[in-house]
Amino acid sequence: MGHIGGNAYVVKTYEHCAYVGVGAELVVLDVTNPGSPILAGSLLLLDLIWVNASNYPYAYIADYQAGLVIVDIANPMSMYIVSATPGATWSFCVAVYGNYIYMGSSSQDILIFDVYNPEQPMDLGYLPFSGQDIEIYEAYAYIANGGDGLYPKPG
């Protein structure tokens, strides 16, 4: 496999699979042999996606226009949408910490969801910070915010 078409904005790995956001498509590659990845499955969503697949068997996706989309990825050949929760327009990054999702949006806020029940995520509010990327480590949200730089905030 030389190239997967479309704009790829993110790749996350779990065990022997790579989960790639390619335009509006979630693509799963079997990378057991890294020199020859094999297409294991794909799922078309609404718009550009950013993925975090760290809480297997779910991928938590910031869909640019649709908000938070949770996909069951247990079987890459038959992935399906578990739930879709509208967020602010233009959701573009997502981080997972336990049962909590932090999602960057164009509203200049970091939206927070409880996904204990992935079929019915609960909107818990927001952090009043803009973020282009988020990483959670030991209860702190590290937020990359373009020209404003990087700052840690309690999660």
- CATH number reported for the structural domain that contains residue 51 in this entry: 2.130.10.10
Our count of domains for the chain comes to 1
Query: pLDDT tens digit string along 115-139?
Result: 999 999 999 988 877 777 888 888 8
Q: Alpha-carbon distance 122 to 134, whole Å?
A: 20
Is position 3 within any domain?
A: no
Regarding pTM above 0.75, the answer is yes
Is position 48 within any domain?
A: yes
Query: pLDDT tens digit string along 10-49?
Result: 888 888 999 988 888 999 999 999 899 999 999 998 877 7
Query: pLDDT tens digit string along 71-91?
Result: 999 999 999 999 998 766 677
Domain containing 91 equals 8-154
